[in-house]
Amino acid sequence: MTIKTVHATIDGALVMIGFGSIGRGVLPLIERHIGFDRARFTVIEPSDEYAHILRDHGIRHLQVALTAENFAEVLRGLFPTGRGMIVNLSVDVDSIELMKLAQEMGVQYIDTVVEPWPGFYFGSTLPNADRTNYPLRERVRELGKAYVGGPTAVSCCGANPGMVSWLLKEALLRLAADTGVQADPKSREDWARLMQGLGVKGIHVAERDTQVSARPKPVGVFVNTWSVDGLLSEGYQPAELGWGTHEKKLPPHGHAFDHGPGYAIWIDRPGADTRVRSWCPGVGPQFGFVITHNEALSIPDYYTVWDQGRASYRPTCHYAYHPCNDAILSMHEMNGAGKRQPAQHILTADEIIAGGDDLGVFLYGHAKGAMWYGSRLSCEEARRLAPYQNATGMQVTSAVLAAMVWAAENPDRGFVEADEMDHVRCLDVQRPYLGSVECHYTDWTPIQNRINSFAEDRDDADPWQFTNFLAI
């Protein structure tokens, strides 16, 4: 299957930083859907492992590692006219520094995560509260205030964070229609009041990766379906979630932040070792990991209803991630050993023999109980849709494409997150690559289905309290 609609054109140079699994997947989508000057397209990637792909596509490969000392010089040399776009898909390169530089150069910018320089995720001397995404996001939001109307800088826009914020708006409109509520939201305030009026208490970004390889996971190798470095980085930050106004008490070792707007809390334990009960179609109830993500912060912030300076409504929101089985085994192995495996491996589309990725938003506490709304994509279909893809990667790469299109069409919007973008336009670009976008209602609650009775902290009066989801 080939889709060849050109949605937008990049005026100036195009620079992609990083050529891992997501970068490789984005490349053919750019070639199909973005107009660009091939002579001015550069990929910055220190490894030569996949240099042959760039040669085959006729794309310039700048084999250099960006550092705090050289990044400005390298990038300025690639944008002599001060026009174009940076697509940052790297690790260990400071996103905020890149955003500042892009604004100074007059260049548009996109990333999928707020990434710091090395030393933030592992071996840091910072207190755990300072290693969360909350202070990183607040730095980006403050920076954006200095560049209102500047070149568009899309922060944190892949599948999640990113696509899930667009799906959430579709889900709210679907829930409104299914419950007879008139809805025509135009502003952030309209969307927040709609969510409040629908009675949504919380949102899980609920994901189940069922992709499997024919080869069993080797001992001493961390296996995943996307960036191992990315999963480990965020998985070994503290668990973090947006904190709803309906919640009665903090979880064990939970802490509020002592600065900023206060829309989130953090738990003093790694997200990759913090389990919650959640739900996805196909499997139904499942355990997920509370791995910190920007959407767990941006969504509750965006949907807060303010009343005279006080938050009168805010949903709880967090990622509830069930990665592929090999990744779960890898995390158990790493947690048990207390150190990273000496090797890592990302499963390619050719290695995966079955399975897919269900990624959506799980809205709970409303009149219909709970609803999952999202993308269900098999690896087999992802392979048909585009080269260098598995199901997980396809959901990310198509969201990056949508962000590029939207940024090109809206070149001077300053700093934005996915929640602030036109979800209709973005999903219009992305939808051909999402497999089946489905809505599922369920009567499940987190206090159901206990195999035996054990001591636990439960609130039977309100099943939608976070304490009922937390399984640790």
Q: In whole angstroms, give the CA distance from residue 242 to residue 134.
A: 10
What pLDDT is attached to residue 119? Answer: 87
Burial category of 351 from C-beta neighbours within 10 Å (exposed 0-12, middle 13-18, buried 19 and up)? middle
What pLDDT is attached to residue 472? Answer: 78
Task: Assign domain 8-154 one CATH number from 3.40.50.12280, 3.40.50.150, 3.60.21.10, 3.40.50.720.
Answer: 3.40.50.720
Report CA torsion sign: 177, 162, 150, 135.
Answer: positive
Residue (of 24, 30, 147, 152) closest to 84 by Cα position:
152
Residue 104 CA from chain centroid, whole number: 27
Give 341's contacts (C-beta < 8 A, 6+ positions apart): 220, 221, 222, 330, 333, 334
What pLDDT is attached to residue 4? Answer: 82
Q: Interhelix angle for 391-409 vs 21-33, to 10°?
A: 50
State whether residue 68 is helix, strand or coil: coil
In this prediction, residues 38-47 reach a mean pLDDT of 97
Torsion of Cα atoms, 8 then 10 then 11 then 16, to 10°: 170
Question: How many CB atoms neighbour CB 3 within 10 A?
Answer: 11
What are the Cα distances from residue 289, in Å, to 225, 293, 392, 428, 457? 16, 11, 17, 30, 19
Residue (of 104, 88, 212, 214) closest to 155 by Cα position:
88
In this prediction, residues 381-402 reach a mean pLDDT of 96
pLDDT at 188 over 70: yes
- Span(s) in the chain for CATH 3.40.50.720: 8-154
Q: In whole angstroms, give the CA distance from residue 1 to residue 209.
A: 23
Tell me 149's DSSP state: T
Name the token pair of 77. Answer: 């040399």
What pLDDT is attached to residue 2? Answer: 59
State whether residue 154 is helix, strand or coil: strand
- Span(s) in the chain for CATH 3.30.360.30: 163-391+434-469
What pLDDT is attached to residue 191? Answer: 98
pLDDT at 334 over 90: yes
pLDDT in tens, 216-247: 999 999 999 999 999 999 999 999 999 999 99
| Burial call 237-251: b when 16+ CB within 10 Å, e when fewer | bbbbbbbbbbbeeeb
What pLDDT is attached to residue 452? Answer: 77
pLDDT at 17 over 60: yes
Task: Assign domain 163-391+434-469 one CATH number from 3.30.360.30, 3.30.1240.10, 3.30.420.10, 3.40.50.2300.
Answer: 3.30.360.30
pLDDT at 91 over 60: yes
What pLDDT is attached to residue 454? Answer: 84
Residue 468 CA from chain centroid, whole number: 25
pTM for this structure? 0.97
State whether residue 164 is helix, strand or coil: helix
Q: Are 389 and 463 in contact (CB under 8 A)?
A: no
Q: In whole angstroms, give the CA distance from residue 360 to residue 319.
A: 10
What are the Cα distances from residue 283, in Å, to 209, 280, 324, 338, 358? 11, 6, 13, 31, 10
H or E element in which residue 52 lies? helix 51-57
In this prediction, residues 164-172 reach a mean pLDDT of 98
In this prediction, residues 351-355 reach a mean pLDDT of 96
- Averaged pLDDT of the chain: 96
Q: Are 68 and 95 in contact (CB under 8 A)?
A: no
pLDDT in tens, 93-147: 999 999 999 999 999 999 999 999 998 888 889 999 999 999 999 999 999 999 9
Give me the DSSP letters along 344-392. EEEPPTTTEEE-EEEEEEEEEEETTEEEEEEEEEEHHHHHHHSTT--HH
Residue (of 335, 347, 29, 395) closest to 205 by Cα position:
395
Q: In whole angstroms, give the CA distance from residue 18 to residue 24.
A: 9
Single-letter amino acid code for the residue at 67: T
What pLDDT is attached to residue 23? Answer: 97
Q: What percent of the chain has pLDDT over 90?
A: 94
